[in-house]
Amino acid sequence: MAEAPPTAIAGGPLASIYAGTLDCVHCGLCLPVCPTYRETGREISSPRGRVYLMRAIAEGRAALGPLLAEEAYLCLGCRACETACPSGVRFGELVEGARAAVERAELRGGLAKRVEALALRELLPRPGRLRRAVDALALVQRLRLDRALRPLLPRRLRELADAAPRVPARRERRPLPALVPAQGERRGRVGLFVGCIMPELFGAVNAATARVLARNGFEVVVPPGQGCCGALHAHAGDPEFARALARRNAEAFRAAAVDAVVVNSAGCGAALREAGAWLPGEGAALAAATRDVCEWLDAAGLRPPAGRVAGRVCYDDPCHLAHGQRVREAPRRVLAAIPGLECVPHADPTSCCGAAGIYNLTHPAMSEAVLARKLRTLAAVDPDWIASGNPGCLMQLGAGAARSGLRARVVHPVELLDLSYRQEQAAAGRSEPRWT
C-alpha cells in the first residue's frame, strides 16, 4: 500500500497556507522570471525553493526561523511567477502568509524593520501626519539640508536619504474636488481612488486622471473617507491592519454609488481587487468594481485625443498590473491612440524594477541590482518617455534614469493622454476647468 502523503501539523505556523504549497509541481518555469533568482542563481531564492521551504516548515521537517524570514522578505512580491506557473500557484498569498508567520514569531528587527513599521503604521494610513511629514521633507529639500548633511550621515541613513523622492510644488498637492463633472455626453459615474502617497507625491497624476475621465464623459466622484489601500501592510505580514483599511475603503465607495472604482496605482488596484478575499462578503462589491484607469478607458471606448505629442515612449509594466491584475495591452492601446506618439518596446517590460513598495528601502542592494538590469534594456531603446502606472515604479525608474544619464522623462500613461487632450483644448481656444 502506498504511503499517505505528509500533512501539515495542525496549528503549526504555516498550516493555513499549506494546501497552497501543494499546487507547486516543481517544474521550474518560475525560475527565469524571478528577479532574486536571476540575480543570485540560488534555488532557495526562487519561488520553487521558497515553496519547498514553506512546505517543509508546515510539515514539521524544518523549523520556522531566520532562513524563512530572510527569503520571505528577499522576495519582491512581483508575482511574475504566477504568470509563468502552469499549475496556478498563488505565490503572492503564500509569501504574505509566510511573512505573517515570521512577524508573529518576531523574527525580524533592525533599522529596516523600524523604518517599515513607522511608514506603514504611523504615516501612510494617517493623512494629516503624512502631509506634515511630506511638508517637512519639502522644507529640507528646499533648503538643501539633505545635501548639506549627507556627508555626516551613516551609510545606511545616506541610502535612505538618497531614496527619498522630490516633493512636488504645493499647488500639485491640492486635494481634488469632491465631484468633477463629465464633459460632453455623460457616459457614467465613477469613483476615483486617490490613495495615500499619490496626493502627496503624485497629485498631478491624480488631477490628470480626473480630467481624462471627465473628458471621456464620466462624472468623477472622490469619496471622503477613503484612504490607504492596505497593500503594503498585507505584503509586510500585517493582514489584520490591511483588512481594517480595506473595510474603510469598501464603506466609502459603497456610499458613493458609482459604476466603477477607477485606480491609477497598480499596487492599490491589485489590493482593492483582492478585497473580496480579505473581507469575505463585505469586500466583494469593491473588488468587482475596481478597474485600472487605462483598462477602464480602453474597455469603455477611448474618446480619441487630437493633440499631437511627438516622441517615442517605452511602456514598462508595473508588476501588480501585469501579473496581479493581468492588465497588459490596455495601457499600450491607450498610448498608441495619442497622435504623434511612437510606442517602442524594450526587451524586458514585464520584469520588476526593484521598487516593490518600500523594498528599495529595506533591501537596497538587491533593489539596485534588479533596477540596473531594467535600465540597461531601456537605455538600449533611448526613448523620450518611460511610462508606467504605479507610484513606486515611477519613483524607482525616475531616480534610476537620472543616475544613469537617460534623457527619458518618467511619466504615468494618463499624463501623456491628458497632455494630448489639453493641447487639443488649447488649440480650440477652450479653457481648463477652474479646479485645475
pLDDT tens digits, 320-360: 999 999 999 999 999 999 999 999 999 999 999 999 988 98
- How is residue 158 written as a grid cell? 545616506
Per residue in 1-23, pLDDT tens?
Answer: 455 567 877 778 999 999 999 99
- Which region among 92-96, 163-167, 172-176, 291-295 has the lowest average model confidence (pLDDT)? 163-167
* Extended strands (E) in 148-294: 179-180, 188-193, 218-221, 260-263, 290-292
Give the pTM.
Answer: 0.93
Per residue in 97-152, pLDDT tens?
Answer: 999 999 999 998 877 688 788 889 889 999 999 999 999 999 999 998 888 878 87
Q: What is the DSSP string of 302-337?
A: PPPP-S---EEEEE---HHHHTSS---HHHHHHHHT
Q: Does the pLDDT of residue 188 top 50, yes or no?
A: yes
- Annotation: CATH topology of 172-300: Rossmann fold (3.40.50)
Q: Does the pLDDT of residue 433 top 80, yes or no?
A: no
- How is residue 270 written as a grid cell? 491589485
Per residue in 170-186, pLDDT tens?
Answer: 889 999 999 999 999 99
Mean pLDDT (the chain) is: 93
User: Homologous superfamily of 15-104 in CATH?
Assistant: Alpha-helical ferredoxin (1.10.1060.10)
Domain segments of the chain as ranges: 15-104, 110-170, 172-300, 311-426
Instruction: Say what the pLDDT of residue 3 is.
Output: 56
Contact 286, 260 (CB under 8 A): no
Task: Name the percent of the chain lying above pLDDT 90.
Answer: 82
Contact 214, 183 (CB under 8 A): yes
Closest CA to 235 of 295, 324, 156: 324
Are 15-104 and 311-426 in the same CATH fold? no
Residue 261 — very low, low, confident or very high, per pLDDT cuts 50/70/90? Answer: very high
Q: Could you identify the residue written with the cell 526613448?
A: 383
- Lateral strand order in the sheet of 218-221: 179-180, 218-221, 188-193, 260-263, 290-292
Which range in 6-15, 116-125, 218-227, 422-431 is most confidently predicted, on average pLDDT? 218-227
- Annotation: CATH topology of 311-426: Rossmann fold (3.40.50)
Gap between the Cα atoms of 431 and 433, Å rounded? 7
Instruction: Say what the pLDDT of residue 1 is.
Output: 45
Gap between the Cα atoms of 307 and 416, Å rounded? 10
Contact 366, 36 (CB under 8 A): yes
